[in-house]
Amino acid sequence: MATQGGIAFQEKVSRLLRGQNGKPVLKPNRALVLKDAVANRKPKKGEASCITEMSVLMACWKQNNFVDTLCSNEINSFYMCVEKAQADAKNKAAQSNIQGGRLPPKQATALLKRYPNLCKEI
């Protein structure tokens, strides 16, 4: 952005800091420098997966006094549901990464750290 605006941008910033008629518009308490990191996004709270399967399994357990051999069908279906849910979560994460158009915040931070803002000449 600075290279696009160039000198005009810097002049605008210095005019804001100096101010018109001696009164500055901006009084920054920190240096006007960009950080080498991006704020993290709050991950969306999903719903609990496989609740129906779990409740069916627990009902079966209650009926059969927690013997596992009699509930083997329910156990297998629960495991399959869990596997599917994990695969879905992985696919969803990959999809949202590709579709977003922007980089996810962790990858953006990694990239910025590799090419940081130079604050010293050495």
Partner 1 sequence: WYAIALQTSLLSFVCRVFLVRWSRYNPYYLEPEVSKEAYSRPETELSAEEKEQRELKALRPIKAATSGVSSSVFDDPVISKFINMMMEHGNKVLAREIMTQTLENIKKKQVEKYHKASEGEREAIECNPYTIFHQALENCKPVVGLASIQKGGKYYQVPIPLTDNRRRFLAMKWMITECRDNKHRRTHMYEKLSQELLAAFGKEGNVMKKKYELHKMAEANRAYAHYRWW
Of 10 and 73, nearer to partner 1 (C-beta) is 73
State the burial class of residue 20 (Cβ atoms within 10 Å of its Cβ: 0-12, 13-18, 19+): exposed
Of 9 and 66, nearer to partner 1 (C-beta) is 66
Of 61 and 108, nearer to partner 1 (C-beta) is 61
Minimum gap (Å) between residue 59 Cβ and partner 1: 9
- Distance (Å, rounded) from C-alpha 84 to C-alpha 53? 12
Minimum gap (Å) between residue 110 Cβ and partner 1: 13
3-state helix, strand, coil in the chain (%, to 5): 60, 0, 40
Of 13 and 75, nearer to partner 1 (C-beta) is 75
Minimum gap (Å) between residue 71 Cβ and partner 1: 9
Contacts with partner 1, residue ranges (CB under 8 A): 45-51, 54-55, 57-58, 61-62, 66, 68, 75, 78, 82, 89
How many residues in the chain?
A: 122
Minimum gap (Å) between residue 51 Cβ and partner 1: 5
β-partners of residue 20 are 23
Contact 7, 88 (CB under 8 A): no
